[in-house]
Amino acid sequence: MERMISPSVLAADFGHLERDVKMVEQSEAAWIHVDVMDGVFVPNISFGFPVLRAIRKVAAKPLDVHLMITEPERYIARFAHDGADWITFHLEATDDALHCIHLIRESGAKVGISIKPKTPVESLRPIIREVDMVLIMSVEPGFGGQKFIPESLDRIRELRLMAEELNPDLLIEVDGGISSENARLLYEAGANVLVAGSSVFKAEDPAAEIHAMLHA
């Protein structure tokens, strides 16, 4: 199964954003993960459009934008316009997931939907055919540097089974507490894309950590 790494710039040094993005560009990472937080859907605020545009200017790799914002439908078109290749919104953040999916499609970006650790995987069944990717949160969204929740492994397996039945091309992305220590278990459970913030950017050799995760 396809394996990819998407380093999260949330853990980058924002005083040296260009340097850190270039490091990812030169590494084996497939994508660049961009965490947008609004202080309402999650108890933290990260950054928005100007930072996304700054990353877009230096990055050639696909930008994997993770919207941790309430009513994502209000801003999807702008995130696409400012450079998102993938737009992932939270099932819990909207009353109309199908409308969000439609807006992302219309914008030309690829569609991701995410669920928090306590949201049942089954709640994805009605819309799983409509999306390109599901992002399973393996920590409560809002902060980098948290501990991986081990029950996430069973949730990945459950989702992989559902995908085999309903959407065989589905990509499964996992986000939170991931490093070369647990990467292999995640891929074996059925994940395709691993997001990693602290483990990459706090590593002495980030490119080596990315390599280790990819080939775990």
Q: Which residues are catalytic?
A: 35, 175
Q: Is residue 35 at the binding interface for Zn ion, with CB under 5 A as the rule?
A: yes
Q: What is the nearest approach in angstroms of Zn ion to the Cβ of residue 127?
A: 20
Pairing mode, if any, of strands 171-175 and 133-137? Answer: parallel
Q: Which residues pair with 91 in a beta bridge?
A: none
- Range in contact with Zn ion (rule: CB under 5 A) among 72-80, 104-112, 172-180, 205-213: 172-180
Decide whether 35 or 38 has the Cβ nearer to Zn ion: 35
Q: How far apart are CA 191 and CA 166, in angstroms?
A: 16
Neighbours of 156 (CB within 10 A): 23
Q: Quick one: DSSP state of residue 124?
A: G
Question: Looking at 72, 83, 112, 144, which residue binds ligand DX5 (CB under 6 A)?
Answer: 144
Tell me the C-alpha distance between 51 and 56, whole Å: 9
Distance CA 117, CA 139 (A): 7
Return the number of the residue (47 or 102) whose C-beta is nearest ligand DX5.
47
- Binding segment for ligand DX5 among 18-26, 48-56, 119-127, 136-144 (CB under 6 A)? 136-144
Q: Is 66 in the site for Zn ion (CB under 5 A)?
A: yes
Interface region with Zn ion, contact rule CB under 5 A, candidates 12-20, 21-29, 63-71, 123-131:
63-71
DSSP SS3 for 158:
helix
Q: Could you say which of 11, 121, 159, 183 contacts ligand DX5 (CB under 6 A)?
A: 11
Asked if 65 and 79 touch (Cβ cutoff 8 Å), the reply is: yes
Q: Which helix (H) or strand (E) holds 162?
A: helix 152-166
Site for ligand DX5, residues 68 to 87, rule: CB under 6 A: none
Check binding of 116 to ligand DX5 (CB under 6 A): no
Helix H or strand E segment including 114:
strand 110-115
Rounded to a whole number of angstroms, the distance between the first and last alpha carbons of the chain is 14
Total number of residues that touch ligand DX5 (CB under 6 A): 22
Total of residues contacting Zn ion (CB under 5 A): 3
Q: Check residue 35 for interaction with ligand DX5 (CB under 6 A).
A: yes
Binding ligand DX5 by CB under 6 A: which of 70, 107, 119, 146?
146
DSSP 8-state code for residue 216: -
Interaction between residue 192 and ligand DX5 (CB under 6 A)? no
Q: Which residues bind Zn ion (CB under 5 A)?
A: 35, 66, 175
